[in-house]
Chains A and B, each alone.
Chain A
Amino acid sequence: MSSKVKSTPSILTANSLSIGYKDKRETIEIASQINFDIQPGELVALIGINGSGKSTLLKTLSAIIPALTGDVLIDNISISNLQNKDLASKQSLVLTNETVSKQLSVFELVALGRHPYTNWLGHLSQKDLTLVNEAIDQVGLLQNQHKTCDALSDGQFQKVLIARALAQNTPLILMDEPTTHLDMYHKAYVLQLLKSIVKRSQKSILFASHEINLALQLCDKIILIDQGRVTYGTPSELIQKGTFNSLFPKDLIVFDEVSQSFRMKMNTD
């Protein structure tokens, strides 16, 4: 498990966090005793089967819903003490399943990332323009920056959303399944892109994903949610502990420790 001793300044910390939903009548706890500590420049995957609570955890970390108990610290400040606007300068989001208007040019959409810093009319300063251009360049869309998002492929549009988060220039980026709807090549491409971003800029990225095999190869740390229990560590730590062996029912896929990936189970009879 992660140590609670802070040797280096961490960007995102969960302290005995428990997540779930609460209304007047009942409290549904989805996972508890969550502890982790993400350092600057780390790429962290959040992994779990469908319905395990990945989205709930991401929503809690991004202050969309409150924590049941425990605390989330960003830059060592409790998230509940941060105003929307202060939070916007510390973490940016890449979400799927939002009804995003595609009737904007690539440049305009990415420039929205500067929203927390611009004046009431949204005027872009020289610094804003530089950051927007850098962000578009980083995801390799400079050629397409004046195209309308409508005309882009799913993979390109995903890159636009990532560039918007980069333009927001926050030390932490949270992503909800950034690789859904993409083919195998573009999945690898996007994850590779995330890896290069954290290496180059010392930003930290936490992304929820179903791409366990790719994540194991690329990520510095993995947060695994399995039946309300959360395990955190480097990929090799989790493999050694055998955490992945019990993730799925064993009838179809098994974790192969030699290749460090999940494999289809071959029917031998």
Chain B
Amino acid sequence: MNRNIANSLGLVVLLLIGIGLSLSLGSVSIPIDEVLKILLGISTENSTWEYIIINYRLPKTLTALLIGSGLAISGLLMQTLFRNPLAGPYVLGLSSGASLGVAILLMGAGLFSGIFGEFMFSKWSIILAASLGSILVMLAVLATAQKVKDTMTLLIIGLMVASLTSAVVSVLAYFSNAEELQLYIFWSFGSLGNLAWGEVGLLSLCWCIGLGFALICLKNLNALLLGENYAKSMGVKLNRNRILIILSTSIFAGSATAFAGPIAFVGLAVPHLIRQLVTTNDHKILLPNIIFGGAFLMIICDIIAQLPGSDSTLPINAVTSIFGAPVVIWLLVRKRKLKF
């Protein structure tokens, strides 16, 4: 228990350092004491720095925190629900649904550009298309979950939906011109930095709703660690909890994909990284650690993606995997065991 508290505190400290670095580093380097002054509302001599922090770095850092922790929570929920270490937010086909929505918007543009005109390529239309895509997939999954009693079947169906949608995206890509294809590919790289304050607000709202659903079934998640039959024998209403868990995951993963593009890896990996650290699978202890851990990982990836000191940025989706995957592999090989 004490070890777990120490671990959480350690994670929080790391996270705070990460937040500090993320606000201070970038194409322009801002000293950390100036960052603090700006955050506390003390006026500084350099109003450019103030502008950069308030309108650019702060929303981006918040986005990283929300998306990192949200994806990590949804990964945890899926792994517990499916009692499968390979599960992550993508298994329900949500990000693929969002991708399909955006692909239809950007690459099927010829079909309805006449109707929407200028609106077509605005940021909001992409967010809207991504949300619609993941909501439709979510509804389909929920309907299936009502019918299919077996959770493993649900997992397979999710994977099928994912490969179906990516096939449709390929077909669209094949028939689209280079310019449209480029737009889509840039979206699929993911980006944390394009959000204005209003969008960050909306993302936080989604995050809170997702967390709310997760908290409602927090206790039952522990019962589900023993499998569905045990959970049922302990009085857990399986269907109700399954739907709450799917809703929570969909809101986290759907909103993340809508605002920042499909971000791989975080949802799958963070729960495993945290389990190496925390000695128990008790969700009351796991959940806060996973929130801190997911947020920290995302912040670090974002700092790397910014290539501090330079003007160019790497696609965030590539950074999470390129820098994250070796870490996970190294950890698992060193510990020789997947704790699940």
A residues apposed to B, CB below 8 Å: 62, 64, 83-85, 87-89, 91-93, 95, 98-101, 103-105, 108-109, 112-113, 115-116, 118, 120-122, 148, 150, 168
Q: Give B135-149 as 1s and 0s: 1 = Cβ < 8 Å from A's Cβ atoms.
A: 000000000000000
- Tell me what chain B mostly uses at the interface: helix, strand, loop, or mixed: loop
Q: Kindly state the separation between the CA atoms of A105 and B233 in the bound complex, as whole angstroms.
A: 21
The 8 nearest A-B residue pairs measured at CB: A88-B235, A98-B227, A85-B235, A101-B225, A103-B281, A116-B235, A122-B219, A115-B234
Check A98 against B235 for contact (C-beta < 8 Å): no
Interface residue from A64, A109, A121 paired with B219 (Cβ < 8 Å): A121
* Chain B residues, Cβ within 8 Å of A84: 232, 235-237
* Chain A residues, Cβ within 8 Å of B219: 115, 118, 120-122
B82 to A, closest residue via Cβ: A99
Q: Kindly state the separation between the CA atoms of A109 and B229 in the bound complex, as whole angstroms.
A: 15
Query: Given A84-B236, A88-B235 in contact, is the A121-B218 Cβ separation under 8 Å?
Result: yes
Q: Kindly state the separation between the CA atoms of A247 and B44 in the bound complex, as whole angstroms.
A: 90
The smallest beta-carbon distance between A11 and chain B, in angstroms, is: 16
Interface residue from B230, B279, B282 paired with A95 (Cβ < 8 Å): B230
Check B230 against A100 for contact (C-beta < 8 Å): yes
In the complex, B37 has a CB within 8 A of chain A: no
* A-B interface contact total, Cβ < 8 Å: 82
Check A64 against B83 for contact (C-beta < 8 Å): no
Interface residue from A93, A104, A121, A150 paired with B230 (Cβ < 8 Å): A93
Check A148 against B279 for contact (C-beta < 8 Å): yes
Can you name 16 extra interface pairs (CB under 8 A) apart from A101-B83, A101-B281, A118-B219? A84-B232, A88-B233, A92-B233, A95-B229, A98-B227, A98-B230, A99-B83, A101-B225, A101-B226, A103-B339, A104-B280, A115-B222, A121-B219, A121-B284, A122-B218, A122-B222
Q: Kindly state the separation between the CA atoms of A121 and B136 in the bound complex, as whole angstroms.
A: 32
In the complex, B174 has a CB within 8 A of chain A: no
* Chain B residues, Cβ within 8 Å of A101: 83, 225-226, 281, 340
Best-buried of B226, B229, B281 by chain A (most CB within 10 Å): B226
* Chain B residues, Cβ within 8 Å of A62: 233
